[in-house]
């Protein structure tokens, strides 16, 4: 019985290492994403092979979710029941928040971040409809997913997407290596803590080791290490899939725009059949792009909304913490990494989505203007009605595009609102921290 349990645990650990370890290797083969695509396919077909699903996906994800739950409980326990004024207790429990002299609000913000990671487990592995489109282009190299000619910015589309994906994974790997280096440093800090506090562990005489305190130290180091690795894994996986999908979508929109740009070459001629064919081509491509937007909102819109809700307060707190400068360099190194990662998503990815929506709606507006100026002669009535209905669908106040889940369209106005909210939270948290210090 014990051997069977140990064997299952060993298989789960091996599978988790297989999921994460490609971040430390070459990204040209896209092994990291290939493993994810395989696991998602196993989830889709779990009825046909339940044992494989249990071994390769369900058990590892359950263990990862359990680690996030344990980390959340540990944070809340330290916040309300920990001896935060006792330096030895804080270091023995590897409390990086109390060691960095953060307030108790930081515990709740970090716990909220861990809870969001649990939602990432569900969305990425059980509810990501964009997987197959990314895989067909990036892994299967199906160039016929795009329109001829298969070029984008003077490069072959497949080569362009492969190079872009490699760059995204390289950035993600750098983030993971940064977290890994911090964990190695924390191991040295734990060893130094044991060596400098022999009396605390009763190590001055052989055979009188107080195993309880050593176990607590090792347990907290393990919890912090695994939670950090899993956090980095899910952030990198979500960001990589989202960025690759957005780049693919950008190419689709560019090819739809080409159908309208072709009209400039023959705008002075009354070639109604050519104009109609170009407009119908744009309509077909734009309809496909609407489906891609719907799939993206189903997962990335929700993930982005959860990210904004949970990370904006924590990011404001980190900004104030880093500007104070009253802490050790190792904590500045760790929290600065988190701050840069969060601020890149809060403003960088946010602005990127705004630009994608603006470009998509601009091409639709051009389509409406062309429809309004064009008189169709000798054109099939069915085609006329098809184009007219499509133009009417876009002639609306409620525009199409990427949104915060199903709540609101991501526009420049919303971007400014979130920037204003960020500044207000920054001032509120600053006043709260200053009041506590006084």
Condensed to tens digits (0 to 9), the pLDDT of residues 91-118 reads: 777 777 777 777 788 888 888 888 888 8
Name the 3-class secondary structure at 58.
Answer: helix
pLDDT at 143: 75
Percentage of the chain modeled with pLDDT above 70:
86
Phi, psi of 402, deg, nearest 5: -70, 140
**Distance (Å, whole) CA 263 – CA 276:** 10
Q: Higher model confidence: residue 86 or residue 200?
A: 86
Long-range own/partner contacts, residues 26-35 (CB < 8 A, 24 or more apart): 27/165, 27/166, 27/169, 27/170, 27/173, 28/166, 30/138, 30/139, 30/165, 30/166, 30/169, 32/169, 32/237, 32/240, 33/134, 33/138, 33/139, 33/165, 33/169, 33/240, 33/241, 34/139
pLDDT at 429 over 80: no
Long-range own/partner contacts, residues 265-271 (CB < 8 A, 24 or more apart): 270/377
Q: Which helix (H) or strand (E) holds 152?
A: strand 151-152
pLDDT at 138: 84
Scan for tokens 């403003």, then name that residue.
Answer: 347
Report yes or no on whether pTM surpasses 0.95: no
Name the 3-class secondary structure at 151.
Answer: strand
Q: Which helix (H) or strand (E) holds 155?
A: strand 155-156
What burial class does residue 279 get, using C-beta atoms within 10 Å of its C-beta: 0-12 exposed, 13-18 middle, 19+ buried?
Answer: buried
Scan for tokens 């190079």, then name that residue.
Answer: 163
Closest-CA residue to 299 (of 137, 169, 124): 124
Mean pLDDT of the chain: 79
Number of domains in the chain: 1
**Distance (Å, whole) CA 108 – CA 113:** 9
Distance from the first to the final alpha carbon of the chain: 58
Structural domain containing residue 344:
2-142+151-437
**Distance (Å, whole) CA 350 – CA 171:** 18
Both tokens of residue 221? 């180091």
pLDDT at 260: 75
pLDDT at 208: 45
């Amino acid at each position: 019985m014990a051997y069977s349990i140990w064997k299952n645990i060993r298989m789960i650990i091996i599978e988790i290492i297989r999921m994460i370890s490609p971040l430390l290797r070459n990204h040209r083969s896209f092994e990291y994403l290939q493993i994810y695509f395989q696991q998602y396919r196993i989830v889709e077909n779990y009825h046909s092979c339940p044992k494989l699903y249990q071994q390769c996906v369900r058990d590892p994800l359950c263990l990862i979710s359990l680690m996030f739950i344990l980390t959340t409980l540990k944070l809340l326990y330290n916040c309300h029941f920990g001896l935060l004024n006792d330096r030895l207790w804080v270091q023995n429990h590897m409390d990086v928040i109390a060691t960095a002299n953060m307030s108790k609000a930081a515990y709740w913000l970090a716990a909220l971040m861990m809870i969001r990671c649990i939602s990432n487990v569900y969305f990425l592995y059980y509810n990501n409809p964009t997987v197959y489109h990314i895989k067909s282009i990036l892994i299967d190299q199906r160039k016929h997913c795009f329109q001829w000619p298969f070029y984008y910015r003077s490069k072959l589309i497949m080569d362009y997407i492969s190079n872009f994906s490699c760059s995204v994974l390289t950035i993600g790997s750098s983030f993971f290596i940064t977290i890994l280096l911090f964990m190695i440093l924390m191991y040295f800090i734990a060893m130094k803590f044991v060596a400098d506090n022999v009396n605390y562990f009763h190590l001055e005489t052989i055979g009188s080791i107080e195993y309880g305190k050593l176990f607590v130290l090792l347990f907290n180091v393990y919890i912090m290490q695994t939670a950090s690795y899993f956090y980095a894994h899910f952030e990198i996986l979500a960001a990589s899939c989202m960025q690759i999908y957005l780049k693919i979508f950008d190419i689709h929109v560019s090819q739809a725009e080409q159908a309208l740009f072709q009209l400039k070459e023959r705008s002075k001629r009354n070639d109604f059949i050519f104009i109609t064919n170009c407009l119908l081509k744009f309509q077909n491509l734009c309809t496909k792009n609407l489906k891609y937007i719907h799939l993206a909102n189903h997962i990335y819109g929700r993930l982005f909304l959860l990210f904004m809700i949970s990370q904006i307060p924590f990011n404001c707190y980190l900004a104030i913490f880093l500007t104070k400068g009253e802490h050790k360099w190792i904590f500045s190194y760790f929290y600065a990494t988190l701050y840069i990662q969060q601020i890149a998503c809060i403003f960088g990815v946010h602005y990127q989505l705004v630009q994608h929506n603006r470009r998509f709606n601009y091409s639709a507006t051009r389509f409406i203007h062309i429809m309004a100026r064009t008189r169709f002669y000798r054109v099939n009535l069915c085609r006329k009605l098809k184009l007219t209905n499509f133009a009417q669908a876009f002639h609306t106040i409620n525009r199409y595009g990427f949104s915060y889940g199903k709540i609101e369209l991501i526009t420049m106005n919303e971007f400014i609102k979130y920037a204003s909210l960020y500044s207000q939270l920054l001032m509120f948290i600053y006043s709260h921290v200053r009041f506590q210090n006084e």
